Structure 1
Amino acid sequence: MKVLKTAVFALSIALAAVPALAQRQGGGMRCFQRFAELDADKDGKVTLTEFLSVQHPRGSDFAKQMFTSKDANGDGALTAAEFCPSN
């Protein structure tokens, strides 16, 4: 019985750490949810037009620079991997 209690305790500690780990890795699920929201045509890519369709706190010029810096292959669209890089 003591082994079972220890295992349950260890599992609860591990599960409690999951949200913190997800936040450290580029926002985790929230980042992928945001990507899906921006991908208006659901083609698996976020174009600059889709990216700018929402208001950005620092303005559209900053948003354009951010988009360009995330577009690793320069194709004019962000994949989920480019949008939510894992650190």
Structure 2
Amino acid sequence: MVERSGSSKFQIVLVREPHVIKEAQEIAEGTEYEQSISLCDARFEVTIDDLEMALDEINTLMEVQGALQDASSGYAFLPWNGQIIKPWVG
């Protein structure tokens, strides 16, 4: 659980279930990331207790997203707008 006073709570869970790869393929279908994402067999799921509050305080949301991408060198899928963000390579 990630929590800051006055901000939304973020629960982060690593999921390695058989449905992950199938859902990754569905998410990436028809995108430029289709081939690479189709190999994803694990993901972090982030549950936000108050999405509206989290979107209003976008910096916290971006920090959580960035930390997970840095730790995993993975893609980020934002279900609230359908955006896929490729891994950052520095």
Using the size of structure 1 for normalisation, the TM-score is 0.26
Using the size of structure 2 for normalisation, the TM-score is 0.26
More strand by share: 2
Instruction: Using CA pairs under 8 Å that are at least 6 residues apart, name the structure with larger relative contact order, 1 or 2.
Output: 1
Larger Cα-atom Rg: 1
